[in-house]
Structure 1
Amino acid sequence: MSEFDNITAPPPPPTSDGPVPSDQRTMALVAHLLGIFTGFIGALIIWLINKDDTSKPFVIDQSKEALNFQITIAIAYIVSSILVVVLIGTLMLAAVWVANLVLCIMAGVKANNGEAYRYPFTLRLIK
């Protein structure tokens, strides 16, 4: 089995011993929703602040997931911007924007409920 056999399956969410604390749920919610307004910068800041704090596994996991998704969205925006020349890019820009908005809101709601969310079609560059 090569390392690329299971490349499309998202990693499993972290297992917790009990309910996720309120402060971790709030930080995970903020990490997801900041993607709508700041792109990958908001999730990057939250991940960098919390990545060494082992007492916050939910925040680390969800901010990393939001960061990976926003990097994927940035790549999609770049490709769409290049394709504007052949007119399909305009439709792609709109589709990427709507997908970003909808998926970030869905992820924020799940994170606020204490459930780990995995974005579809995400390049998981930060492990």
Structure 2
Amino acid sequence: MSQPPYPPQQPYAPVPMSPSDERMWGMFGHLSAIAASFVTLPFLGPLILFLVFKDRSGFVRGHTSEALNMTISLIVYEAVLFVLCSVLALFTFGLSYGLMVVPGVVALIFTILAAVAANQGRAYRYPLIFRVVR
């Protein structure tokens, strides 16, 4: 038997990240939700970072999954609030739609707090979210 002309394939092993890279990508996991919301897909940034870095660092996986869960929860809350505001609009002449801003502002504040915590190397848990992705 002759030897194949190429070396045998090695199985893919994720390269571990340095602590400073973990903090940076954990922070970007939260901030990417803000950046992706400019194209009306706030879950897209955390989802991409989650899929890319989930096997390389438990710290980054935790922060990106938390950011992804927050954006999923925010979408659900906004949909429920839209239905509620639509019903209330009959009685308030459309003024109830001003409430649609509240979840976004609250999410922005919590996202900034989470990004600061990730940059400091601390874990952060958003309050009142559904934890769908682990």
User: Could you say which TM-score interval applies, normalised by the shorter chain?
Assistant: 0.7 to 0.9
Aligned-residue sequence identity (percent) comes to: 35
Question: For residues 92 and 28 of structure 1, what CA distance do their matches in structure 2 show?
Answer: 31
Counterparts of 1:104 and 1:112, CA distance in 2: 12
Task: Mark the runs of 5 or more structure 2 residues left unpaired by the alignment.
Answer: 1-17, 37-41, 90-94
Q: Is the Cα–Cα contact under 8 Å of residues 36 and 100 in structure 1 kept in the other structure? A: no
Q: What residue is the counterpart of 1:102 in the other structure? A: 109
Counterpart of 1:52 in structure 2 is 55
In the aligned structure 2, how far is the partner of 1:97 from the partner of 1:80? Answer: 12
Secondary structure of 2:55's aligned partner: coil
The equivalent residue for 2:73 is 72
Q: Structure 1: how far apart are the matches of 2:48 and 2:77? A: 21
Shift of the 72–116 alpha-carbon distance from structure 1 to 2, 3 Å rule, reads same
| Corresponding residue number in structure 2 for 1:14 | none
Provide the rounded CA distance (Å) in 1 between the counterparts of 2:81 and 2:60: 31
Q: Determine which structure has greater relative contact order: mean sequence separation of CA pairs < 8 Å that are 6+ residues apart, divided by chain length.
A: 1
Q: TM-score, normalised by structure 2?
A: 0.73
Count how many residue pairs are aligned between Structure 1 and Structure 2: 106
Higher Rg of the two aligned structures: 2
- The residue that corresponds to 1:13 in the other structure is none
Aligned counterpart, 1:40:
43
Runs of 4+ in 1 over 6 A off after TM superposition: none
Q: 1:69 touches 1:122 (CA, 8 Å); kept in 2?
A: yes
What amino acid does structure 2 have at the position aligned with 1:46? L
Deviations 1:1-57 (A, max 9, x none): xxxxxxxxxxxxxxxxxxx7111111011110111232111000000111222xx11
Gaps of 5+ in 1: 1-19
TM-score norm. by structure 1 comes to: 0.76
Q: How far apart are 1:91 and its partner, in Å?
A: 4.1
